[in-house]
Amino acid sequence: MTAMMRQLTWNEMTDAEKAWVHQRGTAADSADELRPAIRALVDDVRQRGDAALLDALARFDHVDIAADGIAVSTQEFDDALATIDAGVHDAIRQMIANIRAFNLALLERRQGWTAEIAPGHTVGEKVGPVSDAALFCPSGKASYPSVLAQIATPAVVAGVANISVIVPPLPDGSGRVDDAVLVVAHELGLDRVFRVNGPAGVAAAAFGTDTIPAHSMIIGPGSPPVALAQLEVRAYGVDTVVLGPTESLVLADASADPILLAADLLNEAEHGTDSTVILVTSFQAVIDAVSIEVERQARALPAERRLAAQSALGVNGGAILTDSMEQSVEVANWFAAEHCQLAVANPWQVADTIEHAGELLLGQHTPFSVGNFTLGGPAALPTGGFANRAGGITVEKFCKAGAIGHLTANALSAVAKSTIALSDHEGFDAHGNAIRIRQNLGRDG
């Protein structure tokens, strides 16, 4: 019988095995096959608007509605608020409160500023919200109100004036949008929620239709078709952030509890067959104990979640044995995981050595599930290795900074010679003349 968690040794892995893990296994599959169909769908929405949206809902989501059903109604919001489980509603409020607190603290640190870098020579930035944003909340395999909270709360904190929510209906064919998603939107004061097929909804948010306004920014994770649609609309000047399947890495030492390690690995591995989950440790005994525990705990999962875990831990990821903590850190930085948990005796010390991770969860009292829901930090994070050059979706993504400059007459005089020299070198006569004319008029200080 094949073990659920694959075991690898870093010093013995081939280049091909390392490449497979680094590209997140099956996450790289099928994009070329899907791209032509997604391009055609995006173009159809661009040309036919609402009619194409209704056709896509019927074809891919098996939902037949009229055009006036694309926008979620006030009655649907009221029904969601009336029927939502009280415990879930309280959890949503706590989740939003913690995310809001994180982003408010971040916003305080991202304010406008000025600095005098030479006498009379002032530079700085004016910081403000972007003009608009469409937020995509996935609903293909299940419903994810936490995703909407994670990407919408920062937008609201930033002060974005025009926000729309794009969400596919529940996968049961009812055409309904999940009550919890609507409650999240209500708690954040968002009333523009549109019921659409995923890739078609991305196109609608980019180009606009009779029902859905056009947006300059689209953010939100989704299936490979949704990600491809986001890539397609970039060609039309729309700012998108493409977030791929979940990926996680746990770095452990001998102090880690194998029962908790297994629970946290399965926490991430159950997301889907395209997820990648890795345990990195220099202790073979830890791998052996965790492997047994993963098998035991997985037996209690529904069949669909077990299948996802087998792929995430047995095909795409697995346990990697290193020869030292230093090499474990090297592997963690090489992988640049979306989510990284440090299950070690001194997590704060090890955290100083991790340069590339979308988030760091320090210690075994900080499981992935808390990071996904109630920690407050971003859970919409860079995937596919992009954590080595990007961060998660926070209030900063919804802010823009305009540069500020001011020169006194004397400060202008101090940079005039250099400005003319560079203008002449690059062949811009009028640039140089803007300085020379001031000099001739005696207005350069």
- Average pLDDT over the chain, rounded to whole? 94
420 and 325 belong to one structural domain: no
Q: DSSP letter at 340? A: E
231 and 338 belong to one structural domain: no
pLDDT confidence of residue 184: 98
Inter-helix orientation angle 284-298/303-314, to 10°: 160
Q: For residue 118, is it within any domain?
A: no
| Domain final residue, candidates 194, 222, 241 | 241
| Domain final residue, candidates 194, 211, 241 | 241
* Residue tagged active-site, from 271, 293, 339, 359: 339
Task: Give the burial class of 3: count Cβ atoms within 10 A of its Cβ; 0-12 exposed, 13-18 middle, 19 or more buried.
Answer: middle
Q: What confidence tens digit (pLDDT) does each residue in 316-357 have?
A: 999 999 999 999 999 999 999 999 999 999 999 999 999 999
First to last CA, the chain: 84
296 and 177 belong to one structural domain: no
- Contact predicate 201/194, CB 8 Å: yes
Distance CA 263, CA 289 (A): 12
**Local confidence band at 29 (pLDDT 50, 70, 90 cut-offs):** low
Asked if pLDDT for residue 140 goes beyond 80, the answer is no
237 and 251 belong to one structural domain: no
pLDDT confidence of residue 349: 97
205 and 104 belong to one structural domain: yes
Measured in whole angstroms, how far is the alpha carbon of residue 5 from the centre of its chain? 27
Asked if pLDDT for residue 31 goes beyond 90, the answer is no
344-359 burial code (b ≥16 CB/10 A, e <16)? beebeebbeebebbbb
Asked if pLDDT for residue 64 goes beyond 60, the answer is yes
Share of the chain above pLDDT 90, in %: 90
Structural domain of 56: 32-112+130-241
Nearest to 113, CA basis, from 437, 306, 402, 427: 402
**Local confidence band at 249 (pLDDT 50, 70, 90 cut-offs):** very high
Share of the chain above pLDDT 70, in %: 97
Q: For residue 74, is it within any domain?
A: yes
Asked if pLDDT for residue 443 goes beyond 90, the answer is no
Joined tokens for residue 71: 């926008």
238-270 burial code (b ≥16 CB/10 A, e <16)? bebbbbbbbbbbbbbbeebbbebbbbbbbbbbb
Q: What confidence tens digit (pLDDT) does each residue in 428-437 have?
A: 999 999 999 9
pLDDT confidence of residue 105: 97
Q: For residue 271, is it within any domain?
A: yes
User: Averaged over 77-102, what is the pLDDT?
Assistant: 97
Asked if pLDDT for residue 27 goes beyond 60, the answer is no
Joined tokens for residue 52: 């194409």
Q: For residue 395, is it within any domain?
A: no
Joined tokens for residue 306: 């077990």
220 and 250 belong to one structural domain: no
Q: Is residue 173 left, alpha or beta, with left meaning phi > 0 and alpha meaning psi from -120 to 50?
A: left
Q: For residue 69, is it within any domain?
A: yes
| Residues paired with 250 in a beta bridge | 279, 341
Q: Is residue 102 left, alpha or beta, with left meaning phi > 0 and alpha meaning psi from -120 to 50?
A: alpha
* Residue tagged active-site, from 338, 355, 426, 431: 338
223 and 356 belong to one structural domain: no
Q: For residue 250, is it within any domain?
A: yes
- Number of structural domains (the chain) is 3
* DSSP 3-state of 195: strand
Active site residue 338: yes
Q: For residue 125, is it within any domain?
A: no
User: Averaged over 243-262, what is the pLDDT?
Assistant: 95
| Domain final residue, candidates 204, 223, 241 | 241
**Local confidence band at 224 (pLDDT 50, 70, 90 cut-offs):** confident
81 and 220 belong to one structural domain: yes
232 and 289 belong to one structural domain: no
* DSSP 3-state of 113: strand
Q: For residue 403, is it within any domain?
A: no
Asked if pLDDT for residue 36 goes beyond 90, the answer is yes
436 and 315 belong to one structural domain: no
Asked if pLDDT for residue 65 goes beyond 90, the answer is yes
37 and 71 belong to one structural domain: yes
157 and 304 belong to one structural domain: no
Asked if pLDDT for residue 142 goes beyond 80, the answer is no
Nearest to 35, CA basis, from 315, 235, 207: 235
**Local confidence band at 222 (pLDDT 50, 70, 90 cut-offs):** confident
More confident call, 445 vs 229: 229
* DSSP 3-state of 115: strand
Beta strands in 80-120 (DSSP E): 113-118
Distance CA 207, CA 353 (A): 44
pLDDT confidence of residue 32: 77
Instruction: Check which CATH number belongs to the domain holding 18 and give it.
Output: 3.40.50.1980
Q: What share of the chain is helix, strand, coil (3-state, %, to 5)?
A: 50, 15, 35
